[in-house]
Structure 1
Amino acid sequence: MLHKPVVDQTAFKLSMRHLAGAVSVITVGEGDERTGFTATSVSSLSADVPSVIVSVNRSSSSWPAVDKYRRFCVNVLSADQQHVAQSFAGFDGRRGAERYEGAQWHELATGTAALSDALTVLDCDLDTVLNHHSHAILIGRVRAIETREDVEPLLYWRGGYRRLAGNLSARPES
């Protein structure tokens, strides 16, 4: 019988800090039940039926709202929206609907709050939930999109927020 090595959780978390990712705020709920969370675990899934993948810890205070409302909005933050990321990450102590203070919001197709000045917004119906260990993998079917072309993304890398420093290389020729 083969013995699989056990990977240390701390080493795994440190390793994952080397993945640079766009910072998004996932909004969910309505009225006083509005809440949300900061995520770097957002990825496109399909363009055929436009859909995205988002991971959320099921012990998160946002999970019950995701499960109840079955829709969410991915708000990809621009470089000047670190304060929004901090608020939705809970670093300033705000919870639930308090996290929406200090930013402008509007609604798209699902009625979920969309950040007015986000780099891009993907308004989604929850299509599928896959539970895996401590997390839920959300597959959202995109219902509406808003995009700005005039700003740079907020990035998260090695435990801190970052900005793009410039292009490393030109786009490949088609």
Structure 2
Amino acid sequence: MNPVIRNVSVAPAISADEFRGAMRHLAGGVSVITAGRGRDISGMTVTSVASLSVDPPSLIVSINRAASSWPLIARHGVFGVNILTADQLDIAKRFTGKGGLKGAERFAGAEWTTRASGVPLLAGALAALDCEVEEIIERHSHAIVIGRVLDVLASDRTAALAYWHGEYVAIDREEDAVRLAEVSLPSRHVHARGPR
């Protein structure tokens, strides 16, 4: 059997600014990843959380290996995913690290609880997921962490915090559904053939 050989032309490298600009078009839900136990805790704001599997319940998150949370996740093998509500902008900003707060200082001013893993979970989050590390895949500056969900704390709130075009935006299921209905065409009047 002969191997197939193809000439692959490599495009010139794109700049970080070009890539960052393109990715700003992708809206992402805002979460705070928490790690550690006791006073040895840290956390960071991310938009990189995604569901992986329902059976078993698992998710993935991309974590910068230069982040203060990374060694805690690698050492303890557990982490929390706290999906923020629209009114938790201050928490999102605090956990970016841009204000100079580090470690346990970032947790001040909010109510936290723990479950089986012992990592802090935000009591008022849309949802807080207690996770154990199932696998870590290191690539470039980041690690893709696959987490098995051990426990879930969910609220009945409907407004989420998202990040889009470099800005935090609120998404409210009830309010935005009404707005969309006002500007959308009724589906009964849309023809399969498209516009004439």
Q: CA deviation at 1:69?
A: 1.0
Q: In the alignment, does 2:144 pair up with 1:137?
A: yes
Q: Does 1:4 align with 2:15?
A: no
1:24 aligns with 2:60: no
4+ residue segments displaced more than 3 Å: none
Counterpart mapping for 1:112-131 below 5 A: 112-131=119-138
Q: 2:110 aligns to what?
A: 103
SS at match of 2:95: helix
- Residue 39 of structure 1 corresponds to 46
Letter in 2 for 1:16: M
Percent identity of the aligned residues? 44
Aligned partner of 2:83 among 62, 76, 81: 76
Which one-letter code corresponds to 1:119 in the other structure? L
CA RMSD of aligned residues (A): 1.5
* Distance across 2 between alignment mates of 1:25 and 1:150: 17
SS in 2 for 1:142: strand
Query: 2:117–2:130: 8 Å Cα contact kept in structure 1?
Result: yes
The 2-side partners of 1:2 and 1:23 are apart by 37
**Structure 1 unpaired stretches of 5+:** none
Give the count of matched residue pairs. Answer: 171
Structure 2: any 5+ residue segments left out of the alignment? Answer: 1-6, 188-196
Larger RCO (alpha carbons 8 Å, 6+ apart): 1
Q: Show the counterpart of 1:166.
A: 176
TM-score between both structures, scaled by the size of structure 2: 0.83
